[in-house]
Amino acid sequence: MTLIKSISGIRGTIGGSVDDNLTPIDAVKFAAAYGTWLRQQRQKDNYIVVVGRDARISGEMIQNLVMNTLVGLGIHVIDLGLSTTPTVEIAVPLEHADGGIILTASHNPKQWNALKLLNAKGEFLNGEEGQKILEIAESNAMNFAEVDDLGKITVNDAYIDIHIDEVLDLELVNTKAIQDANFKVVVDGVNSTGGIAIPLLLERLGVEPVKLYCDPTGHFPHNPEPLKEHLGDLAKAVVKEHADFGIVVDPDVDRLAFMDETGEMFGEEYTLVACADYVLSKNPGNTVSNMSSTRALRDVTEKHGGTYEASAVGEVNVVTLMKKNNVVIGGEGNGGIIYPESHYGRDALVGVALFLSLLAEKKMKVSELRASYPNYFMSKKKIQLTPELDVDSILKSMEANYSHENLTTIDGVKIDFADSWVHLRKSNTEPIIRIYTEAPSQEAADTLADSIIAEIKAIANI
C-alpha cells in the first residue's frame, strides 16, 4: 500500500494512480478536506494556514497544489517555502493562524511525500480531529469560495531565523559556555532543510560547522533515517576533521542523532536521555517518552528526583501525557526532543542547543558523556502474519501468559521485567506484530526478542 490515510495526515509515493499513490488529485482532495474542517471549527471572516516543506523533489509541486487548494476555499496562506517541521509548528501561533500543513514524509525515501496537519496551537491533530478530516475527504463534502472571496498567498522566508532566535532565547541554552568551548561539528543534513537550519544555528552559537550533504536538493545521499548503518560518510568526516562530534537529522528536522568524536553513534535513543539530564539538572521534574523508548530516561529522571511515565507510541500521545503530567521535557526514543518551554513538538534545533549546553558545561568528550549513562541495548524485530490470523487474540494470549509480570496494555502489550522489557504492537495497515526489546546487552535483547517471537508463533501455529 503506497497511499496511507491516517489520523495524522496522508502520505504516499509520487506518481501512479489516484487513491493508490499521492497523486496531485489526492493532494488536492485532502488539502480541501483539511481546509473545510478548519472552517467548520469556528465562523470568522479570515482563515490563515501556514505551509512549509522539506527539500523533497516533489515538494514544490505538492506545496503549490496544497496552497492553491486552500486559496480556493477562501483561506489565506503564509508560505514558508523550504522549512522544517518544528519551524512550521512555532510559526502557526506566532502568525495567529488557524492551522498549518507540513509537506514532508519525514525519514521515508525520496519517492514519498506527505501532508502533516497541525491545529491552531501548531500541534498535531488528535485522533478525533484526524478522523473527521478523513470523513470529509471520503464524502467530498467541500464547498469552495466564490471568486471575490478567494484567499491569497503571502511569502515569508524569515522563519528559520525566527526559529533560531526562539531557541537562543531559551533560558537553559548556555550560549556563552557554548561559544567559549570552540566546538567543531560535522553536520549531515541529508540534502534537505536541516542542511540550512542546523549550520545557521551552530554559527549563531559560535560553533564551527563542517557541512556534509547540506545542499537542499532533495536527492538524499543515503537512506534518510538517521541510523548507524546509513552514516558511514559522517563517521569518516568526523574523524578526518578532528571534530568534537557529528550531528545528523532527518529530512524535516524533527529527529536528531549524534556521533561521538571517534565516529561511533551516541545512540538515537540517548539524544533525549542527554537533553533530559541537562534540563532536569537545572529544573527538576517529570518526563514522558513512548513505550518503545529506552529505560535510561526513567533512570535519569529518577536520579534527579522526578517521575517517568510512558505513553502510547505517537507524538500526539506523548504530548497529551506530557501536558497531563506537567513534564519539563519529553519526547520519543527516535531522537525526538519535545521541550515545552519552546513548544509541544519534536525539535532538532532545540535538541542541538540543549546538548551543546550540556557538553560545554560538563567539559567532557561526547564518548565520555555517553559512558556516563546507563547502558541499554535494543532489538527491533517483526513477525509477518497471514491476514486470517487474529492479531488481537494473539496479544491477549501473551498478556495472559505474562499476567504475573508488570504489564501495560494501552498500546499493544508491554512487559517490564527486572532488567529488561518487551513491547508488542500490531501494525494498523498490515498483519504484522512489532517486537521491541531492551536489555543490558545486545545479545540479551536479541535473545529476549527471539524467545517472544517463538512464543507468538507457537500461539498462532505458524
Question: What distance in Å separates the CA atoms of residue 54 and residue 253, rounded to the nearest whole number?
Answer: 9
Q: Where do the structural domains in the chain lie, given as residue ranges?
A: 4-156, 162-372, 377-460
Question: What distance in Å separates the CA atoms of residue 104 and residue 80, rounded to the nearest whole number?
Answer: 13
Question: What distance in Å separates the CA atoms of residue 145 and residue 63, rounded to the nearest whole number?
Answer: 20
- Span 292-302, average pLDDT: 96
β-bridge partners, 439: 377
Would you state the pLDDT for residue 462?
76
β-bridge partners, 13: 112
Q: Is 414 helix (H, G, I), strand (E, B) or coil?
A: strand
> What confidence tens digit (pLDDT) does each residue in 31-69 have?
999 999 999 998 898 999 999 999 999 999 999 999 999
- Span 412-421, average pLDDT: 95
Residue 23's closest CA among 31, 32, 14, 35? 14
Q: Is 388 helix (H, G, I), strand (E, B) or coil?
A: coil
- Span 308-332, average pLDDT: 95
Whether 83 is catalytic is: no
Do 376 and 295 meet the contact criterion of CB atoms below 8 Å apart? yes
Distance of CA 282 to the CA centre of its chain: 25
Would you state the pLDDT for residue 431?
66
Region label for 166, one of left (φ > 0), alpha (ψ between -120 and 50) or beta (otherwise): alpha
Question: 8, 58, 83, 106: which is the annotated catalytic residue?
Answer: 106
Give burial (CB, 10 Å; 0-12/13-18/19+) of 407.
middle
Question: What distance in Å separates the CA atoms of residue 254 and residue 338, rounded to the nearest whole number?
Answer: 9
Residues making up the chain, counted from first to last: 462
The residues, any chain, with a CB within 8 Å of residue 77's CB and separated by 6 or more, are 48, 49, 50, 51, 67, 70, 71, 151, 152, 153, 154
Answer yes or no: same fold for 4-156 and 377-460: no
H or E segment at 131? helix 127-139
> What confidence tens digit (pLDDT) does each residue in 154-184 have?
999 999 999 999 999 999 999 999 999 999 9
Give burial (CB, 10 Å; 0-12/13-18/19+) of 134.
middle
Q: Is the pLDDT of residue 2 over 80?
A: no
> What confidence tens digit (pLDDT) does each residue in 244-283 have?
999 999 999 999 999 999 999 999 999 999 999 999 999 9
> What is the number of other CB atoms lying within 10 angstroms of the CB of residue 52?
28
Would you state the pLDDT for residue 209?
98
Question: What distance in Å separates the CA atoms of residue 12 and residue 222, rounded to the nearest whole number?
Answer: 20
Q: What is the pTM of this model?
A: 0.94
Would you state the pLDDT for residue 6?
74
- In the CATH hierarchy, which top-level class contains the domain 4-156? alpha beta
H or E segment at 458? helix 442-460
Would you state the pLDDT for residue 7?
65
pLDDT interval class at 8 (50, 70, 90): low
Q: What is the CATH number of domain 377-460?
A: 3.30.310.50
Q: 86-101 burial, b if ≥16 CB within 10 A, otherwise e?
A: bbbbbbbbebebbbbb
Would you state the pLDDT for residue 384?
85
Mean pLDDT of the chain: 95
One-letter amino acid identity for 375?
A: N
Q: What is the CATH number of domain 162-372?
A: 3.40.120.10
Q: Is 4 helix (H, G, I), strand (E, B) or coil?
A: strand
Q: Is the pLDDT of residue 429 over 60?
A: no
Cell of 181: 568551548
Do 114 and 105 meet the contact criterion of CB atoms below 8 Å apart? yes
What percentage of the chain exceeds 90 in pLDDT?
88
What percentage of the chain exceeds 70 in pLDDT?
98
Question: What distance in Å separates the CA atoms of residue 248 and residue 263, rounded to the nearest whole number?
Answer: 12
Orientation angle between helical segments 348-362 and 159-168, nearest 10 degrees: 30
Taking the CA atoms of the chain, what radius of gyration do you get in angstroms? 22
* One-character DSSP codes across 212-243: ES---SS--SS-SS--GGG-HHHHHHHHHTT-
